[in-house]
Amino acid sequence: MKTRVLLVDDEEQFVEQLSERLKIREYDVSACYSGEEAVEQIKQYLYDVVILDVAMPGMDGNEVLKHIKEQRPLTEVIMLTGHATVESAISGMKLGAFDYLMKPCDTDELTRKIDNAYQRKAEQEERIRTAKAEQYQTSPWSALGDKK
Amino acid sequence: MNPETEKTLTFFGKMTANLTHEVKNVLAIIQESAGLMEDITAICPLTEKKYQEKFNRSMATIKQQLHRGIDLTTQFNRFAHTPDRASAELNLVDTVGQFCLLTERFARLKHIGLTAGEPPANERIRLTTNPVQFYMALFFSLESCLTALPADTEIRITPQKKGGKSPAIEYACTGDHLPPAEEFFQQLQAADAWSELREMIGQLQGEVECDTNDLRFWLIF
Protein backbone atom coordinates (compact mmCIF):
# COMPACT_ATOMS: atom_id res chain seq x y z
CA MET A 1 0.00 0.00 0.00
CA LYS A 2 1.21 3.51 -0.80
CA THR A 3 2.13 5.84 2.06
CA ARG A 4 -0.74 8.30 2.60
CA VAL A 5 0.63 11.82 2.81
CA LEU A 6 -1.23 15.04 3.57
CA LEU A 7 0.56 18.20 2.44
CA VAL A 8 -0.49 21.41 4.22
CA ASP A 9 0.81 24.82 3.11
CA ASP A 10 -0.85 28.12 2.23
CA GLU A 11 1.42 28.53 -0.85
CA GLU A 12 -0.87 26.83 -3.36
CA GLN A 13 1.59 26.57 -6.24
CA PHE A 14 4.20 25.07 -3.94
CA VAL A 15 1.70 22.46 -2.75
CA GLU A 16 0.58 21.63 -6.30
CA GLN A 17 4.10 21.15 -7.65
CA LEU A 18 5.37 19.19 -4.67
CA SER A 19 2.24 16.98 -4.70
CA GLU A 20 2.92 16.06 -8.31
CA ARG A 21 6.52 15.22 -7.53
CA LEU A 22 5.53 13.01 -4.60
CA LYS A 23 2.86 11.26 -6.70
CA ILE A 24 5.54 10.45 -9.30
CA ARG A 25 7.46 8.87 -6.42
CA GLU A 26 4.48 6.62 -5.65
CA TYR A 27 3.05 8.40 -2.60
CA ASP A 28 -0.70 8.77 -2.14
CA VAL A 29 -0.85 12.55 -1.72
CA SER A 30 -3.69 14.82 -0.60
CA ALA A 31 -3.30 18.56 -0.25
CA CYS A 32 -4.88 21.42 1.64
CA TYR A 33 -4.09 25.08 1.94
CA SER A 34 -4.89 26.10 5.51
CA GLY A 35 -4.66 24.81 9.05
CA GLU A 36 -8.44 24.77 9.45
CA GLU A 37 -8.87 22.69 6.29
CA ALA A 38 -6.15 20.29 7.50
CA VAL A 39 -7.94 19.72 10.82
CA GLU A 40 -11.16 18.81 8.93
CA GLN A 41 -9.26 16.44 6.63
CA ILE A 42 -7.59 14.75 9.58
CA LYS A 43 -10.98 14.15 11.24
CA GLN A 44 -12.36 12.47 8.13
CA TYR A 45 -9.43 10.56 6.68
CA LEU A 46 -6.46 8.52 7.83
CA TYR A 47 -2.98 9.67 6.85
CA ASP A 48 0.37 8.12 7.61
CA VAL A 49 2.41 11.31 7.38
CA VAL A 50 1.45 14.99 7.40
CA ILE A 51 3.85 17.57 5.96
CA LEU A 52 2.91 20.78 7.70
CA ASP A 53 4.03 24.35 7.11
CA VAL A 54 4.76 26.13 10.39
CA ALA A 55 3.80 29.68 9.40
CA MET A 56 0.33 29.89 7.89
CA PRO A 57 -2.35 32.55 8.14
CA GLY A 58 -5.08 31.64 10.63
CA MET A 59 -4.36 28.39 12.44
CA ASP A 60 -0.58 27.93 12.39
CA GLY A 61 1.36 24.69 12.09
CA ASN A 62 1.82 24.13 15.82
CA GLU A 63 -1.91 24.49 16.49
CA VAL A 64 -2.69 22.02 13.71
CA LEU A 65 -0.07 19.67 15.16
CA LYS A 66 -1.85 19.70 18.54
CA HIS A 67 -5.15 18.75 16.84
CA ILE A 68 -3.46 15.96 14.89
CA LYS A 69 -1.84 14.52 17.98
CA GLU A 70 -5.17 14.63 19.85
CA GLN A 71 -7.17 13.00 17.08
CA ARG A 72 -4.61 10.74 15.40
CA PRO A 73 -1.71 10.23 17.81
CA LEU A 74 0.01 7.73 15.52
CA THR A 75 0.04 9.97 12.47
CA GLU A 76 3.55 11.33 12.04
CA VAL A 77 4.13 15.00 11.29
CA ILE A 78 7.05 16.66 9.50
CA MET A 79 7.18 20.43 9.98
CA LEU A 80 8.23 22.67 7.08
CA THR A 81 9.81 25.96 8.00
CA GLY A 82 11.52 29.00 6.56
CA HIS A 83 14.53 29.93 8.69
CA ALA A 84 12.69 32.63 10.62
CA THR A 85 10.48 30.03 12.23
CA VAL A 86 13.01 27.34 13.16
CA GLU A 87 12.21 27.94 16.80
CA SER A 88 8.54 27.18 16.10
CA ALA A 89 9.59 23.99 14.35
CA ILE A 90 11.64 23.00 17.39
CA SER A 91 8.66 23.67 19.67
CA GLY A 92 6.70 21.48 17.21
CA MET A 93 9.19 18.67 17.84
CA LYS A 94 8.50 19.07 21.56
CA LEU A 95 4.79 18.70 20.80
CA GLY A 96 5.45 15.39 19.08
CA ALA A 97 6.41 16.21 15.49
CA PHE A 98 8.63 13.54 13.91
CA ASP A 99 11.09 15.97 12.33
CA TYR A 100 11.39 19.30 10.53
CA LEU A 101 12.78 20.54 7.23
CA MET A 102 13.86 23.94 6.04
CA LYS A 103 11.97 25.30 3.05
CA PRO A 104 12.93 25.09 0.18
CA CYS A 105 13.90 21.49 0.84
CA ASP A 106 15.64 18.82 -1.16
CA THR A 107 13.07 16.30 -2.46
CA ASP A 108 15.28 13.29 -1.73
CA GLU A 109 15.70 14.46 1.86
CA LEU A 110 11.96 14.98 2.17
CA THR A 111 11.11 11.51 0.84
CA ARG A 112 13.73 9.99 3.16
CA LYS A 113 12.04 11.67 6.12
CA ILE A 114 8.58 10.61 4.93
CA ASP A 115 9.79 7.00 4.68
CA ASN A 116 11.37 7.14 8.14
CA ALA A 117 8.21 8.68 9.61
CA TYR A 118 6.08 5.99 7.98
CA GLN A 119 8.43 3.33 9.36
CA ARG A 120 8.04 4.68 12.90
CA LYS A 121 4.26 4.75 12.58
CA ALA A 122 4.22 1.17 11.27
CA GLU A 123 6.41 0.00 14.17
CA GLN A 124 4.15 1.75 16.71
CA GLU A 125 1.08 0.14 15.18
CA GLU A 126 2.78 -3.25 15.26
CA ARG A 127 3.65 -2.81 18.95
CA ILE A 128 0.03 -1.89 19.72
CA ARG A 129 -1.23 -4.94 17.79
CA THR A 130 1.16 -7.23 19.69
CA ALA A 131 0.19 -5.73 23.07
CA LYS A 132 -3.51 -6.15 22.27
CA ALA A 133 -3.01 -9.74 21.14
CA GLU A 134 -1.28 -10.51 24.45
CA GLN A 135 -4.07 -8.76 26.34
CA TYR A 136 -6.75 -10.83 24.56
CA GLN A 137 -4.89 -14.03 25.36
CA THR A 138 -4.68 -13.24 29.07
CA SER A 139 -8.11 -11.63 29.27
CA PRO A 140 -10.42 -12.60 26.35
CA TRP A 141 -13.26 -10.41 27.71
CA SER A 142 -11.14 -7.29 27.08
CA ALA A 143 -11.76 -7.78 23.35
CA LEU A 144 -15.42 -6.96 24.00
CA GLY A 145 -14.36 -3.78 25.81
CA ASP A 146 -12.36 -2.70 22.75
CA LYS A 147 -15.38 -3.18 20.47
CA LYS A 148 -17.63 -0.88 22.52
CA MET B 1 23.54 52.14 20.93
CA ASN B 2 20.72 54.57 21.74
CA PRO B 3 17.09 53.36 21.96
CA GLU B 4 16.03 55.20 18.78
CA THR B 5 18.76 53.52 16.73
CA GLU B 6 17.81 50.17 18.25
CA LYS B 7 14.16 50.71 17.26
CA THR B 8 15.15 51.62 13.71
CA LEU B 9 17.38 48.55 13.40
CA THR B 10 14.66 46.29 14.79
CA PHE B 11 12.19 47.73 12.28
CA PHE B 12 14.55 47.20 9.34
CA GLY B 13 15.41 43.74 10.63
CA LYS B 14 11.74 42.71 10.81
CA MET B 15 10.94 44.05 7.34
CA THR B 16 14.00 42.35 5.84
CA ALA B 17 13.38 39.04 7.59
CA ASN B 18 9.78 39.09 6.37
CA LEU B 19 10.87 39.80 2.82
CA THR B 20 13.55 37.11 2.74
CA HIS B 21 10.93 34.67 4.01
CA GLU B 22 8.72 35.57 1.05
CA VAL B 23 11.64 35.26 -1.37
CA LYS B 24 12.31 31.77 0.02
CA ASN B 25 8.71 30.85 -0.76
CA VAL B 26 9.19 32.08 -4.33
CA LEU B 27 12.40 30.04 -4.64
CA ALA B 28 10.64 26.99 -3.21
CA ILE B 29 7.97 27.18 -5.92
CA ILE B 30 10.59 27.61 -8.66
CA GLN B 31 12.58 24.70 -7.25
CA GLU B 32 9.59 22.35 -7.17
CA SER B 33 8.42 23.44 -10.65
CA ALA B 34 11.88 22.91 -12.14
CA GLY B 35 12.15 19.61 -10.26
CA LEU B 36 8.81 18.48 -11.68
CA MET B 37 9.95 19.29 -15.23
CA GLU B 38 13.08 17.25 -14.58
CA ASP B 39 11.05 14.35 -13.16
CA ILE B 40 8.77 14.36 -16.21
CA THR B 41 11.61 14.35 -18.74
CA ALA B 42 13.31 11.56 -16.77
CA ILE B 43 10.16 9.45 -17.27
CA CYS B 44 9.54 10.59 -20.84
CA PRO B 45 12.70 12.08 -22.46
CA LEU B 46 12.49 14.51 -25.39
CA THR B 47 12.57 12.69 -28.72
CA GLU B 48 15.65 14.48 -30.07
CA LYS B 49 18.74 13.80 -28.01
CA LYS B 50 20.34 17.20 -28.67
CA TYR B 51 17.27 18.98 -27.23
CA GLN B 52 17.26 16.73 -24.20
CA GLU B 53 20.93 17.63 -23.62
CA LYS B 54 20.15 21.35 -23.93
CA PHE B 55 17.24 20.90 -21.56
CA ASN B 56 19.48 19.12 -19.02
CA ARG B 57 22.15 21.84 -19.24
CA SER B 58 19.55 24.55 -18.77
CA MET B 59 18.04 22.67 -15.82
CA ALA B 60 21.49 22.29 -14.24
CA THR B 61 21.95 26.09 -14.48
CA ILE B 62 18.53 26.72 -12.91
CA LYS B 63 19.35 24.34 -10.03
CA GLN B 64 22.79 25.88 -9.50
CA GLN B 65 21.34 29.39 -9.35
CA LEU B 66 18.51 28.22 -7.12
CA HIS B 67 21.03 26.85 -4.63
CA ARG B 68 22.88 30.16 -4.78
CA GLY B 69 19.66 32.10 -4.22
CA ILE B 70 18.56 29.83 -1.38
CA ASP B 71 21.96 30.08 0.29
CA LEU B 72 22.01 33.88 0.02
CA THR B 73 18.45 34.36 1.28
CA THR B 74 19.00 31.90 4.14
CA GLN B 75 22.11 33.78 5.27
CA PHE B 76 20.45 37.14 4.73
CA ASN B 77 17.42 36.01 6.71
CA ARG B 78 19.73 35.11 9.62
CA PHE B 79 21.48 38.45 9.27
CA ALA B 80 18.12 40.26 9.34
CA HIS B 81 17.51 38.71 12.74
CA THR B 82 20.71 40.13 14.25
CA PRO B 83 18.97 43.21 15.75
CA ASP B 84 16.50 40.94 17.60
CA ARG B 85 18.77 40.78 20.64
CA ALA B 86 21.12 43.33 22.14
CA SER B 87 23.41 40.52 23.28
CA ALA B 88 23.75 36.99 21.93
CA GLU B 89 26.26 34.16 21.87
CA LEU B 90 27.74 33.94 18.36
CA ASN B 91 29.46 30.96 16.82
CA LEU B 92 32.26 32.89 15.15
CA VAL B 93 32.93 30.27 12.48
CA ASP B 94 29.31 30.44 11.30
CA THR B 95 29.19 34.21 11.66
CA VAL B 96 32.34 34.80 9.61
CA GLY B 97 31.16 32.32 6.94
CA GLN B 98 27.85 34.13 6.72
CA PHE B 99 29.54 37.55 6.66
CA CYS B 100 31.84 36.52 3.79
CA LEU B 101 28.95 35.13 1.74
CA LEU B 102 26.97 38.36 2.16
CA THR B 103 29.85 40.76 1.49
CA GLU B 104 31.80 38.84 -1.15
CA ARG B 105 30.33 41.09 -3.86
CA PHE B 106 31.92 44.23 -2.35
CA ALA B 107 35.31 42.57 -2.77
CA ARG B 108 34.49 41.11 -6.19
CA LEU B 109 33.70 44.61 -7.54
CA LYS B 110 37.29 45.56 -6.74
CA HIS B 111 38.68 42.28 -8.14
CA ILE B 112 39.71 41.26 -4.66
CA GLY B 113 39.07 37.76 -3.34
CA LEU B 114 37.33 37.22 -0.01
CA THR B 115 37.35 33.92 1.85
CA ALA B 116 36.41 32.68 5.30
CA GLY B 117 39.34 30.83 6.85
CA GLU B 118 38.92 27.74 9.04
CA PRO B 119 40.23 27.87 12.60
CA PRO B 120 42.79 25.18 13.52
CA ALA B 121 41.31 21.70 13.99
CA ASN B 122 37.77 23.04 13.46
CA GLU B 123 37.93 24.72 16.86
CA ARG B 124 34.56 26.08 18.07
CA ILE B 125 34.95 29.73 18.95
CA ARG B 126 32.09 31.55 20.64
CA LEU B 127 31.61 35.12 21.74
CA THR B 128 28.76 36.79 23.60
CA THR B 129 28.39 40.28 22.22
CA ASN B 130 26.10 42.77 20.50
CA PRO B 131 25.54 41.02 17.12
CA VAL B 132 24.84 44.19 15.10
CA GLN B 133 27.91 46.00 16.40
CA PHE B 134 30.02 42.89 15.85
CA TYR B 135 28.90 42.73 12.21
CA MET B 136 29.65 46.43 11.85
CA ALA B 137 33.17 45.88 13.18
CA LEU B 138 33.67 43.07 10.64
CA PHE B 139 32.36 45.31 7.88
CA PHE B 140 34.50 48.35 8.76
CA SER B 141 37.56 46.09 8.81
CA LEU B 142 36.69 44.73 5.37
CA GLU B 143 35.99 48.19 4.00
CA SER B 144 39.36 49.43 5.28
CA CYS B 145 41.14 46.51 3.59
CA LEU B 146 39.29 47.17 0.32
CA THR B 147 40.49 50.78 0.44
CA ALA B 148 44.11 49.80 1.07
CA LEU B 149 44.47 46.84 -1.30
CA PRO B 150 44.95 46.80 -5.09
CA ALA B 151 43.13 44.43 -7.46
CA ASP B 152 44.13 40.75 -7.71
CA THR B 153 44.78 40.36 -4.02
CA GLU B 154 42.93 38.30 -1.44
CA ILE B 155 41.51 38.85 2.03
CA ARG B 156 41.08 35.86 4.32
CA ILE B 157 39.02 36.33 7.48
CA THR B 158 39.61 33.66 10.11
CA PRO B 159 38.10 33.29 13.57
CA GLN B 160 40.63 32.06 16.08
CA LYS B 161 41.67 32.15 19.72
CA LYS B 162 44.43 34.69 20.11
CA GLY B 163 47.00 33.62 22.67
CA GLY B 164 45.02 30.40 23.06
CA LYS B 165 42.07 32.00 24.85
CA SER B 166 40.73 35.35 23.58
CA PRO B 167 38.21 35.09 20.73
CA ALA B 168 39.63 37.00 17.76
CA ILE B 169 39.10 37.61 14.07
CA GLU B 170 42.17 37.64 11.85
CA TYR B 171 42.24 39.64 8.60
CA ALA B 172 45.12 38.37 6.45
CA CYS B 173 45.90 39.91 3.06
CA THR B 174 47.73 37.85 0.45
CA GLY B 175 48.56 37.93 -3.27
CA ASP B 176 51.27 38.76 -5.79
CA HIS B 177 50.41 42.46 -6.02
CA LEU B 178 50.48 43.39 -2.34
CA PRO B 179 51.81 46.84 -1.44
CA PRO B 180 54.70 47.08 1.05
CA ALA B 181 53.45 46.59 4.62
CA GLU B 182 54.20 50.18 5.65
CA GLU B 183 52.19 51.60 2.75
CA PHE B 184 49.32 49.16 3.39
CA PHE B 185 48.97 50.14 7.04
CA GLN B 186 49.25 53.85 6.22
CA GLN B 187 46.36 53.56 3.74
CA LEU B 188 44.40 51.34 6.10
CA GLN B 189 44.62 53.84 8.92
CA ALA B 190 43.75 56.74 6.59
CA ALA B 191 40.49 55.05 5.56
CA ASP B 192 37.26 56.49 7.05
CA ALA B 193 36.13 52.97 7.84
CA TRP B 194 39.21 52.45 10.05
CA SER B 195 38.14 55.32 12.34
CA GLU B 196 34.65 53.80 12.47
CA LEU B 197 36.22 50.45 13.32
CA ARG B 198 38.25 51.98 16.16
CA GLU B 199 35.10 53.51 17.62
CA MET B 200 33.06 50.33 17.25
CA ILE B 201 35.74 48.05 18.68
CA GLY B 202 35.91 50.40 21.69
CA GLN B 203 32.18 50.00 22.23
CA LEU B 204 32.58 46.24 22.05
CA GLN B 205 35.43 46.45 24.58
CA GLY B 206 37.81 44.81 22.16
CA GLU B 207 41.06 45.92 20.57
CA VAL B 208 42.81 45.93 17.21
CA GLU B 209 46.30 44.43 16.94
CA CYS B 210 48.38 44.79 13.74
CA ASP B 211 51.24 42.65 12.41
CA THR B 212 53.13 45.24 10.36
CA ASN B 213 55.47 42.59 8.89
CA ASP B 214 52.80 40.41 7.40
CA LEU B 215 49.77 42.51 6.34
CA ARG B 216 47.60 41.00 9.03
CA PHE B 217 45.54 42.43 11.84
CA TRP B 218 43.24 41.03 14.50
CA LEU B 219 40.07 42.14 16.20
CA ILE B 220 40.49 40.76 19.69
CA PHE B 221 37.59 40.42 22.17
The verdict on B12 and B107 lying in the same domain is: no
The verdict on B211 and B183 lying in the same domain is: yes
What pLDDT is attached to residue A33? 96
Closest residue to B25, CB basis, from A11, A102, A105: A11
ipTM surpassing 0.90: no
Calculate mean pLDDT across residues A67-76: 96
Q: Does B91 touch chain A (CB under 8 A)?
A: no
**Cβ atoms A21, A107 nearer than 8 A:** yes
Q: Which 24-43 residues of chain A touch chain B by CB within 8 A?
A: 24
Residues of chain B neighbouring A103 (CB-CB closer than 8 A): 24-25, 28
Residues B123-150 pLDDT 10s? 789 999 999 999 999 999 999 999 999 9
What is the DSSP track for chain B? --HHHHHHHHHHHHHHHHHHHHHHHHHHHHHHHHHHHHHHHHHS--SSHHHHHHHHHHHHHHHHHHHHHHHHHHHHHHHHTGGG-SSEEEEHHHHHHHHHHHHHHHHHHTTEEEEEPPPGGG---EEEE-HHHHHHHHHHHHHHHHHH--SSEEEEEEEEEETTTEEEEEEEEESTTPPPHHHHHHHHHHSHHHHHHHHHHHHTT-EEEEETTTTEEEEE-
Q: How distant is the Cα of A48 from the closest Cα of chain B, in angstroms?
A: 22
Residues of chain A neighbouring B35 (CB-CB closer than 8 A): 17, 21, 107
Q: Does B27 touch chain A (CB under 8 A)?
A: yes
B43/A13 CB distance under 8 A: no
The residue among A23 and A145 whose pLDDT is bigger is A23
* Last residue of one domain, picked from the residues B28, B62, B83: B83
Q: A86-94 and A61-71 helices cross at what angle (nearest 10)?
A: 20
Instruction: Report how far residue B153's alpha carbon sits from residue B149's, in angstroms, rounded to the nearest whole number.
Output: 7
* Last residue of one domain, picked from the residues B22, B54, B83: B83
What pLDDT is attached to residue B67? 92
- Residue B69 is part of which domain span? 3-83
Q: Does B46 touch chain A (CB under 8 A)?
A: no
B24/A103 CB distance under 8 A: yes
Q: How distant is the Cα of A17 from the closest Cα of chain B, in angstroms?
A: 6
pLDDT of residue A147 exceeding 70, the answer is: no
Q: Does A18 touch chain B (CB under 8 A)?
A: yes
Chain B: residue nearest A9 by CA?
B25
What pLDDT is attached to residue A139? 80
Residues A13-57 pLDDT 10s? 999 999 999 999 999 999 999 999 999 999 999 999 999 999 899
CB pairs under 8 A between A and B: 56
A82/B39 CB distance under 8 A: no
The verdict on B78 and B91 lying in the same domain is: no
pLDDT tens over chain B, length 221 residues = 788 888 888 889 889 988 998 999 999 999 999 999 999 999 999 999 899 999 999 999 999 999 999 989 988 888 888 888 889 999 999 999 999 999 999 999 999 999 999 887 767 899 999 999 999 999 999 999 999 999 999 999 999 998 878 999 999 999 988 999 999 999 999 999 999 999 999 999 999 999 988 899 999 99
Q: What is the CATH number of the domain that holds B198?
A: 3.30.565.10
At the topology level, CATH places domain A4-147 in Rossmann fold (3.40.50)
Q: How distant is the Cα of A39 from the closest Cα of chain B, in angstroms?
A: 23
Calculate mean pLDDT across residues A121-127: 93
The verdict on B112 and B74 lying in the same domain is: no
Closest residue to A21, CB basis, from B27, B36, B77: B36
What pLDDT is attached to residue A148? 52
Number of domains in chain B: 2
The verdict on B216 and B153 lying in the same domain is: yes
Q: How distant is the Cα of B76 from the closest Cα of chain A, in angstroms?
A: 10
The verdict on B56 and B151 lying in the same domain is: no
Residues of chain A neighbouring B40 (CB-CB closer than 8 A): 24
* Helix residue spans in chain A (DSSP H): 12-24, 35-44, 61-71, 86-94, 107-138, 142-147
A17/B21 CB distance under 8 A: no
Residues A72-114 pLDDT 10s? 999 999 999 876 567 777 888 899 999 999 888 899 999 999 9
B81/A55 CB distance under 8 A: no
Exposed/middle/buried for residue B34 (C-beta within 10 Å: 0-12, 13-18, 19+)? middle
The verdict on B113 and B206 lying in the same domain is: yes
Residues of chain B neighbouring A24 (CB-CB closer than 8 A): 36, 39-40, 43
* Last residue of one domain, picked from the residues B50, B83, B116: B83
